Structure 1
Amino acid sequence: MSAADLAFSSLAVKTKSPMRIALLGGFDLMVDDVPVAVPVGSKRLLAFIALNYRASVPRSLVAGSLWPDASEHSAYTNLRAALSRLRGTARKALDVSSAEVRLARDVTVDLYHSRSLAQRLLDPGGPVEDLRLNAATVDQLSADLLPGWYDDWALLEAEHWRQLRLHALEALAGEFIDAKEFAGAVSAAHAAVQADPLRESSQASLIRAHLAEGNPSEALSDFERYAQRLRDELGLRPTQRLHRLVAELQRSRPRNGSPRS
């Protein structure tokens, strides 16, 4: 273990101020909700360790994942450099040993709060009423993971999160409809559609929210926009299941294009 690593390890102690790593919507290291400056090269290190949350990650895995095209020696050298560039408060985000790197015990990660929320929404046996669903719930599920990052490990985790949050947003829209909180239902479904405009189940959630709120014209307009986009981009048509949601509206629509009330 180098002298620099020993110095780093000795400084990786508990911080009295709440420290948080944000991965959703972009990377940030925060202390008391104030951003902490982190060198660009060290952000990748912190993000990679944060994605492993409470696990201890072997140095060999860290180095090989962050610098996959470098030789083993060069990758280890790059890892030592990334660790040494962390200064002051930022050093306290990690616990480092001669063999492993892990997140410091007091550091929280926004992804894991949002992931826990998504999993509870999707748990068929879970008491959803305990979640206190509101507009902030939609916000927690609306941000991409590390947008603009193209490392293989970041892209893989981003896709896992995208799939989980899309299912959770659709479930959330349904919960809002059941509670007759229609603005929340439309907001949750819109967030899902924005994340993947061609995903039919998200579009169905939005149409159901409009119908539950008593806005058939918006439901039909959204269906037609989706059908046009699906045809233009993929050469496909909506399934019969989606057609059935608006079939009555289409039959009752007068020739001027607006559904009868």
Structure 2
Amino acid sequence: MSEAIKPASPPLRLWLLGQFRLEIGAEPVELCRNAQRLLAFVGLRGRVSRTVLAGILWPEVTEEHARGSLRTTLWKLPRGDRPLIQCCGDWLVAAETMQVDVHTFTETALGVVQGHGSPLPGHLPLGLLGGEDLLPGWDEDWVLLERERLRQLRLHALDTLAETLVRQGRPALALEAAWASVRTEPLRESGHRVLVAVHLAEGNLSEAVHHYQAFRQLLNEELGVEPSPQFTRMLPVHRQGRALRDRP
């Protein structure tokens, strides 16, 4: 007699970009704030010791009190066929089947950066263009550090993506990626350099000079500095004063 086939367990999905959201199957699951913090941290790290986790989530109390709060919060997590977090001695491990959007985003961004110059698909990675922050409104130190790491990774991926698209002769998509970088950090020069490179690749000297001058003015007003010589040398007219005068 053959064994009965067990029904597939519902998928676990954890969203941390834009907002905290947990779904088991297609159903959203409501969690208290401490449970959200616990699941978010373990979901990001994948594996963490109880002592470290208790100290990070409850830094203002004694170690004994923090570990007690950790035990209480673990008990409040949903219980089903598959636990969201598995206890392995002093270690807490996120369920292997739990899909975390941060990990998907990281894989996409690193794939773009590491595959610098390789052929790209016909569409832009939407995860890079979205620009949603990690857990907006959460101001704990571990969130702030991870949020900045992801922001920097996204910016580097967008710059690399735009540069690759320019070389592949796909200026419209390159502009989309470059503008996403500029919108995220308007004072970051590398995104503006890619925008100018796209205009130059299309032969649009007027637009290239106009964008350079707009960025130069913004940089002067906000930081009191000039664009880098690397940026200036991109224009056919190297001297900044003549670049504006020679503009058609």
- TM-score interval, normalised by the smaller of the two chains: 0.7 to 0.9
Q: How does 1:220-259 map to 2 (within 5 A)?
A: 220-248=209-237, 251=242, 259=247
Q: How does 1:202-221 map to 2 (within 5 A)?
A: 202-221=191-210
Pick from 27, 40, 49 the counterpart of residue 58 of structure 1. Answer: 49
In structure 1, distance between residues paired with 2:11 and 2:43: 15
User: Gapped runs of 5+ residues in structure 2?
Assistant: 1-6
Shift of 1:142: 2.9
Q: Deviations over 1:212-235 (max 9, x none)?
A: 344444433332232222112211
Which residue is 1:180 aligned to?
169
Code of the aligned partner of 2:19? G
Which residue is 2:97 aligned to?
106
Residue 76 of structure 1: SS of its match in structure 2?
helix
Distance verdict in 2 for CA 1:238–1:254, change over 3 Å: closer
Q: How does 1:117-196 map to 2 (within 5 A)?
A: 117-123=108-114, 128-129=118-119, 132=121, 134-137=123-126, 139=128, 142-196=131-185
In structure 1, distance between residues paired with 2:127 and 2:164: 12
Shift of 1:148: 2.7
Which residue is 1:7 aligned to?
none
Contact 1:15 1:106 in 2 (8 A): no
Residue 117 of structure 1: SS of its match in structure 2?
helix
Distance verdict in 2 for CA 1:172–1:89, change over 3 Å: farther
Shift of 1:24: 2.1
Distance verdict in 2 for CA 1:239–1:60, change over 3 Å: same
1:41 aligns with 2:34: yes
In structure 2, distance between residues paired with 1:85 and 1:101: 15
Shift of 1:58: 1.1
In structure 1, distance between residues paired with 2:8 and 2:135: 25
The structure in which a higher percent of residues are helix is 1
Distance verdict in 2 for CA 1:180–1:40, change over 3 Å: same
Contact 1:96 1:102 in 2 (8 A): yes
Distance verdict in 2 for CA 1:211–1:32, change over 3 Å: farther
Distance verdict in 2 for CA 1:73–1:233, change over 3 Å: same
In structure 2, distance between residues paired with 1:88 and 1:154: 26
Which residue is 2:3 aligned to?
none
In structure 2, distance between residues paired with 1:223 and 1:89: 57
Contact 2:14 2:100 in 1 (8 A): yes
Amino-acid identity (%)? 36
In structure 2, distance between residues paired with 1:183 and 1:236: 30
Shift of 1:199: 1.1
Which residue is 1:92 aligned to?
83
User: Gapped runs of 5+ residues in structure 1?
Assistant: 1-13
Shift of 1:71: 0.9
Code of the aligned partner of 1:84? W
How many residues end up aligned between the 2 structures? Answer: 240
Pick from 22, 30, 36 the counterpart of residue 29 of structure 1. Answer: 22
1:116 aligns with 2:107: yes
In structure 2, distance between residues paired with 1:231 and 1:98: 57
